[in-house]
Amino acid sequence: MARFNENFEYKLDFPKFLLIGDSITERSANPLPVTDYIADGYDHSGKYSTDKGPMEFCFFGQLQHDYVRRMDVINRGFSGYNSEYWKFMIDKVLQIEHDLSYNKCKIVSLFLGTNDAATAKPDGVPYDEFLSNMDYIINQILKRDIKI
């Protein structure tokens, strides 16, 4: 164990690695296998419905492990969201996580399109509209000098 040194300056202001997406991103923090998607993966008591089997690969957890003490990994995945929802949310999320934050975002993982590919509204988004939404979202990220 390292000794505490009162004259040493401890770095605690880590930059952020921000994950933006839908349920795939949201659930990337769960190493347990999901056994059913009834009620959006939650049972009636509000608890996540998972198997008690062996743990599986967890993208979010792996990023936290890989970047520990170098970056804070923030999960902003929202189940059921598509590019249309994110077009209206991206500015607020970036304002909170980047613009107004002392610790700035350095990298964004953007994972959208699964819900957009549904055949009808409210989840489905026409392809041209999806491209326009993604263009807007990407531009909001890039104009802040954040890598995607």
Query: Is 10 a member of any domain?
Result: no
Taking CA atoms, 17 is separated from 38, 55, 60, in Å, by 31, 24, 10
Question: How many structural domains does the chain have?
Answer: 1
Q: What percent of the chain has pLDDT over 70?
A: 81
Query: Is 4 a member of any domain?
Result: no
The CATH number linked to 107 is 3.40.50.1110
Note if the bond before 15 is cis, omega within 30 degrees.
no
Query: Is 28 a member of any domain?
Result: yes
Query: Is 1 a member of any domain?
Result: no
Query: Is 11 a member of any domain?
Result: no
The 10s digit of each residue's pLDDT in 28-79 is: 888 776 665 544 544 555 555 555 666 778 899 999 999 999 999 999 999 9
Average per-residue pLDDT for the chain: 86
Query: Is 75 a member of any domain?
Result: yes
Query: Is 7 a member of any domain?
Result: no
Q: Is the pTM here over 0.85, yes or no?
A: no
126: containing domain: 16-142
